[in-house]
Amino acid sequence: MKKILLSAVALATLTTMATAGEGTEVKSKVPVLKFSGKHYLGFVSSETDGEDRINKFETRRNYFQVKAYFKDNPKSYMRTTLDTHQIDDSKHEDSNGDTVGKDMDGTWNVRLKYAFLYLDNVLPNTGIELGQVHRPWIDNEEHGGWNYRSISKVYVEADKGAHLTNSADLGFNLKTKTENFSSELGLFNGEGYHNDDNENEAGLSAEWRLTGHILGGGKSKAKKKNSYANVSFFGQQNQESGKHKNEDLNWMGLHAVYNQPAFLLAGQYITVDDGHTGYKGDGYSINGEYRFAKKWNAIGRYDFFDMDDNSGEKKRAIAGVTYQYNKNVEFIANYLGEGGSAVGKRTDAVMLTTEINW
């Protein structure tokens, strides 16, 4: 059994045993434990047509993560990631239409985001995640296509975007990495990590991402300082999803991104060819980033989704400026506009955000 020494500051979030200026001995059955965190803190001033302006402070994400690396293969590990979530009971009603747990409204809960075993190199250049794992697309776009999850989810997940899927689910994900090609192929329950599994239906969701790395770099993380050009084909075939009105949800998309140290350009097209009328349609998203000075970036994005049921379209626009304070902290100021005939009332918002990574 290995012994790991952590500073009192890092350990204070885990135990009351630590005292200032002292080290605390922690015992583990693995040689390495890695702790990390991610936080999105912000302020929003928004106005919806015909309604009063709303001003509020927010905490949009509070990840706390532990990875336990194994002795026999230091690239294999068990990962657990927790997040916080504020309960809104206005969205949860029982069969009689009564709100569930009214005394819990506004309470902050801790929610499990990821809990999976990663085994490296189970096949040539391929590892596998087992448990509550990454779904194939969103994490990829958030780390090289759209770098500002702190102010907006990616197009396929955003409520006023395509709004088709989320980032984690129970199942497995095979992840292949080579210099010029990478992929993720998985099978999942299909409802996502914060929706109940549909016990009345037997459907699962087959999901994929296939990416060509034109300039190489498929084995490493995409970084702003690097040059890369990637083209991806992705989607899911989701049978009888409880999250999607107990109907199938089949969609696919194409995404391209080109990055240089001075700028990033990305665009995608998505079509839903089978699903409930509230999800069927097609649309596109484009976004860019211009690094006009050291530590300073200008960002922009536009989303459009046209509903097949003739209810109209959904539109979103983002424009802002970011400042990298240090390697752990980034500040963002941006405008967000959401509207379109399928949305109804238009909302315009000014957002101030601090992203912290440690």
pLDDT tens sequence across 266-298: 999 999 998 887 889 999 999 999 999 999 999
The string of pLDDT tens digits covering residues 227-251 is 999 999 999 999 877 667 678 999 9
Contact residues for 201 (Cβ-Cβ < 8 A; gap 6+): 239, 240, 241, 242, 246
Tell me which long-range contacts 215-224 makes (C-beta under 8 A, separation of at least 24). 216/179, 216/180, 217/179, 218/177, 218/178, 218/179, 218/180, 218/181, 218/182, 219/177, 219/178, 219/179, 219/182, 221/143, 221/144, 222/143, 222/144, 222/259, 224/147, 224/259, 224/261, 224/264, 224/291
Structure confidence at residue 88 (pLDDT): 74
Q: Where are the domains of the chain?
A: 1-30, 31-357
Confidence category of residue 158, pLDDT binned at 50, 70, 90: very high
pLDDT at 21 over 60: no
Confidence category of residue 7, pLDDT binned at 50, 70, 90: very low
Considering only 30-34, 188-192, 308-312, 323-327, which range has the smallest mean pLDDT? Answer: 308-312
Most trustworthy range by pLDDT among 22-31, 197-206, 237-246:
22-31
Structure confidence at residue 95 (pLDDT): 54
179: DSSP letter: S
Confidence category of residue 19, pLDDT binned at 50, 70, 90: very low
Confidence category of residue 310, pLDDT binned at 50, 70, 90: confident
Q: For residue 260, which of 142, 144, 138, 140 has the smallest C-alpha distance?
A: 144
Structure confidence at residue 259 (pLDDT): 98
The string of pLDDT tens digits covering residues 334-356 is 999 999 998 889 999 999 999 99
Average pLDDT over the chain reads 89
Coil vs helix vs strand at 221: coil
Q: Please, what's the largest Cα pairwise distance for the chain?
A: 65
Structure confidence at residue 104 (pLDDT): 67
pLDDT at 59 over 80: yes
Q: Percent of the chain beyond pLDDT 90?
A: 74
Most trustworthy range by pLDDT among 120-124, 198-202, 276-280:
120-124
| The domain made up of 31-357 is a member of CATH 1.10.1040.10 | no
Structure confidence at residue 276 (pLDDT): 81
Report CA-CA distances (Å) from 199 to 8, 97, 190, 246: 45, 21, 12, 10
| Beta bridge partner(s), residue 118 | 77, 129
Higher per-residue confidence, 8 vs 150: 150
pTM of the shown model:
0.88
